[in-house]
A and B are shown apart, each in its own frame.
Chain A
Amino acid sequence: MTPTRADICVVACADAFAEDGEILVNPIGNIPTIGGRLAKATTCPAAVLTDGEAMFVDGIHPVGAPIGTDSTEAWNPYRRMFHMLWSGKRHVMMGATQVDQMGNQNIACIGDWEQPRAQLLGFRGAPGNTINHRTSYWVPNHNPKAFVQHVSVVTGIGYDRAAALGTGGRFHDIHRVVSNLCVCDFETPDHRMRLRSLHPGVALDDVVAATGFELVIDQDVATTRLPTDEELAWIERIDPSGLRSAEVPQ
């Protein structure tokens, strides 16, 4: 079995959760969700996952299908989700319509706030997530309109905003940005976004051209690892209908 780009993205998402241990691993979107379930199946068995509604569920389930109550391990309706995230025991991977060099995210709107050119999702949980616990982002289409110099609206806060809060920003932790081209992190002295690894087959110039700000690029850039055979087998079980390939075409 030859891994596809989508498989590589799934494993990159799973690796973002690998060291989480016993916390709520809460990916949003298809590829992050497949990645979260893969992490629980392999590197992070203690992870707690949700059914996308009000239950914590045990076991490894196919994506896109309802999960039966026989897998329920606890009840977590929305109000308790806020209690959990305010307590910090959560790692969320959200989407980002725009993200900047310091990790500021926008999912609210594009253009002027009073009368936006494009109304998007709103702030949703992004402000509370980013100030309370580890957050990662998934961007399925890496391009200069997504990786921008300045976001229209700051929904999820980046390292500069968190630093300006002093002790109030002490739980802030943007961990990874995974895209269809590469994996980025903020492991630099001033927390500017760094290219962590290029997906196999992606040229450095492609990522530079698709990024609207200057990425920190080390002398030797790593290549995102390929899935193992065991991981590929899990991915097939978790995503038998191939939702991942619809999100990231080959």
Chain B
Amino acid sequence: MIDKRVSEDEIIGELADGMVIGVGGWGSRRKPMSLIRAIARSSLKDLTIVSYGGPDVGLLCAAGKVRKVVSGFVSLDSIPLEPFYRQARQNGTIQAAEWDEGMLLLGLQAAGWRVPFLPTRAGLGSDIPRLMPDLQTVTSPYDDGETLLAVPALDLDVALIHMNRADQGGNGQYLGPDPYFDDLFAMAATTCFMTCERLVPTEELAAAARPETIIINRLMTTGVLEVGRGAHFTTCAPDYARDEAFQRVYNAASKSDASWQAFKDRYVDAPTQADYLRAVDELAASSAADSASNGTRPEGAAK
């Protein structure tokens, strides 16, 4: 089997200022957060981020890496509004292309299929065409003659995705309830880097779950890197659930420049995943100790 294992530094080294980067997952679910923090620590700038957005988008906005966001929404799921994306929008520091969620699927699919657009009714009549005037309509060449929105191909320079399992050749497997659109992101991109919870021998993929869970094949991927808890604090079911307590800490860090700086110093600037996880686990342990001394039960300890 071909060996596509890469280091985090090698992945970041393949990125460049101004690139269009697609990020897999959905909201605060199965996001490649270790790579997102690595981008936040890098000198990269002026990126366009394409995402069913969550803290990936927010963190990169807070770190000043983003020129433009193309999204269907940016949300933390259990906290509906992403605080740092919200600030960036309200401060006017980024450009936003907010599409209908389904339009994003079609734009990624068009890029993967190498066609210039895919037609849809979604978006017509809404303010999307008015606010994003680069979007054009197309008239059906058949007898119906219907006018449809021509969703342009979302050609990505790079896609970043996180899977539950992968092999060193670049095949990837999700084990949670939803594949999201990670295969479409991978196929829309010139280059795709995949992190995974566990790198396993190829034969363990089909042994672990039905083969249709192997949605990423190695024709879609450029490099693969094992990063345990690489999606933290977003959910990576069934390996782990969303860390709601930590997500609240992230959300609260948006309150002031000082609170963001403190969060960035402690968590984002942690040089390795091991350093990051140590800081995360220290916080959880101190919260648990506080709760114990208050006579209340720490979150997540109920079961």
Contacts and interface: CB of A to CB of B under 8 A. Distances in A.
Interface of A: 53-55, 77-79, 82, 85-86, 108-109, 113-128, 130-132, 153-157, 161-162, 164-165, 167-169, 171
B71 interface: yes
A162 to B, nearest CB: 6
Contacts of B102: 82, 85-86, 125, 128
Nearest to B235: A53
Given A124-B101, A128-B100, 18 more contacts: A77-B179, A78-B178, A82-B105, A115-B89, A115-B90, A116-B89, A117-B90, A121-B80, A122-B71, A123-B126, A124-B100, A126-B100, A131-B122, A132-B121, A132-B122, A153-B131, A156-B126, A168-B121
A95 B42 CA distance: 39
A64 to B, nearest CB: 12
Contacts of B52: 78
Contacts of B80: 121
A127 B126 contact: yes
Interface stretch (B143-151, B156-164, B220-228, B289-297): B143-151
Given A115-B89, A117-B90, A131-B122, A123 B99 contact: yes
Interface string B106-146: 00000000000000111111111001000000000000101
Given A119-B89, A126-B126, A79 B181 contact: yes
Interface string B201-237: 0000000000000000000000000000000000000
Nearest to B106: A82
Contacts of B147: 165, 168
A79 B179 contact: yes
B131 A121 contact: no
Contact of A131 (B101, B105, B124): B124
Interface in B218-266: none
B267 interface: no
B81 interface: yes
A61 B115 CA distance: 44
B90 A118 contact: yes
Interface string B176-207: 01111100000000000000000000000000
Contacts of A77: 177-180
Contacts of A154: 125-127
Contacts of A124: 72-73, 100-101
Contacts of B124: 127, 131, 157, 165, 168-169
Nearest to A124: B73
Given A153-B131, A157-B126, A78 B26 contact: yes
Contacts of A115: 89-92
A84 B180 CA distance: 15
A167 B105 contact: no
B86 interface: yes
A114 B178 contact: no
Q: Choose among B80, B125, B178 the residue with the greatest number of A CB atoms under 10 Å from its CB.
A: B125
B69 to A, nearest CB: 10
B125 A167 contact: no
23 contacts: A53-B178, A82-B102, A82-B105, A85-B102, A108-B98, A119-B81, A122-B73, A122-B74, A123-B99, A123-B126, A124-B100, A125-B102, A127-B124, A127-B126, A128-B121, A130-B126, A131-B121, A154-B125, A155-B127, A156-B126, A164-B125, A165-B147, A171-B121
